[in-house]
Copies of this chain bind each other. A is one copy, B any other.
Amino acid sequence: MRTLIKNGTIVTAIDQYSGDVLIEDEKIALIGSSLADIHADTVIDAAGKYVLPGGIDVHTHLDMPFGGTRSADDFESGTIAAAFGGTTSIVDFAIQYRGQTLHHAWETWMKKAEGKTAIDYGFHMIITELTDQVECEMDALVRQGVTSFKLFMAYRGIFMLDDGSIFRALLRTGQNGGTICMHAENGDVIDVLVQRALKAGHTAPKYHALTRPARAEAEATHRAIALAEMAEVPIYIVHLSAAEALEMVTEARDRGLPAYAETCPQYLFLSYDNYEEPGFDGAKYVMSPPLRDQAKQKELWRGLAFNDLQCISTDHCPFCMKEQKELGRGDFSKIPNGAPGIETRMSLVYDGGVRAGRISLNRFVELTSTSPAKIFGLFPRKGTIAPGADADIVVFDPNRTITLSAKTLHMKVDYNPYEGRQVTGAADTVLSRGRAVIAGGAFVGRKGGGSFLKRSTRA
């Protein structure tokens, strides 16, 4: 089975050239200036288009329980939506609930995904309780390809680990080669502020943001990096939203520390102002960390351009306004946290990043595919266009303009935070390990076509 992608402009994190790509079965076999003479079963004409490594979204929450409800996309709808947006791999989060083993959590999430996903998928493991036994399980999971662990510095009593546990987990990854991902907000401060806000009758959605100050994120980011420094291991900050937190990452990297961070499109294209939308509409944007001041978004773009931020993920965690978000009417603290984004990432970042002149086309590929692959043990299998790599390829039309809308997007959620926004640049054809999953505007893959990604440890 051979597929030939012809006449495109091939773009990786470093290269950009005219050429053809030949795929044999699941892998890229050949790249050349012209492969016109070569026989192929299928030929895709990419003239006028970019041929990109498939997007990798390392932060999604599909089929995730949350306060009596669950996130609106499961592994089927979520991965189909991802594919429509040009993403061919995700890394989702399995959750260890207190009193459970990591193994149990892993099995639970493996079952959720099994036979359902349209694209390849892996898991980070969320640790909420770190016993000695759990420490041992970490090693086992790393061997099984779950090579990253997410810890929380917020949500005391639910997800939050104390600094001692965080430090022990970090030390453990120093031995087993895993990577710690951190939700960096000072949860204790937030809890006090939330209690005081509610007591003062401040119940509207915007108080979600007003009780989660940027400094609380910056503090936790600094602390997380300091703990990693003392453990002599790398650290990865998830969904960094505040310029003040970015500054901590920048300072750490200026000192030579292996501190990494991702941000998400919502922190680049939405802002605190959205919480001031009329009625209960601010609830659409309730997520943690919250949206920040628009004036500081340029700092995040600087971080992306100068590699103080290495990845753009989505933190896709959709809840419908109806029946879900509205649980928090009259008490912002009960609004399910999260928003949809798995499908819109590539177009938003291309449009607002590359077309707007904030980042180069190479850097776009690096942020959305190559760096996530390298940091999370998927490279060189994923994240590039090179012989031997998985043929996860997006034929991306830089000139196609689409209008983002809950009606036309494929995520199973009844609103879209970017409703009505026009963006230029969109995926046309999407291949997952050599097979088309999106073509001609339709999903042409199959449920269960995706495989579990056994990821490598840090080099």
Contact = CB atoms under 8 A, between A and B. Distances in A.
Q: Number of contact residues on A: which range applies?
A: 35 or more
Interface in A1-43: 10, 12-19, 22, 27-33, 35
Interface in A236-287: 250, 253-256
Given A186-B227, A307-B307, A360-B459, 4 more contacts: A10-B386, A167-B192, A222-B222, A223-B223
A327 B288 CA distance: 49
Given A162-B188, A191-B164, A307-B307, A33 B223 contact: no
Contacts of A188: 162-164, 167
Which 9 residue pairs are nearest across A and B when measured between Cβ atoms? A164-B188, A219-B226, A163-B188, A30-B32, A256-B302, A33-B387, A14-B14, A19-B387, A13-B14
6 contacts: A14-B370, A17-B380, A30-B31, A186-B227, A218-B226, A222-B222
A216 interface: yes
A377 to B, nearest CB: 15
A189 B388 contact: no
A378 interface: no
Contacts of A167: 188-189, 192
A370 to B, nearest CB: 6
A421 interface: no
A305 to B, nearest CB: 7
Contacts of A27: 33
A12 B188 CA distance: 44
A447 interface: no
Contacts of A15: 12, 14, 380, 384, 386
B254 A388 contact: no
Interface in A324-353: none
A219 B227 contact: yes
A77 B342 CA distance: 57
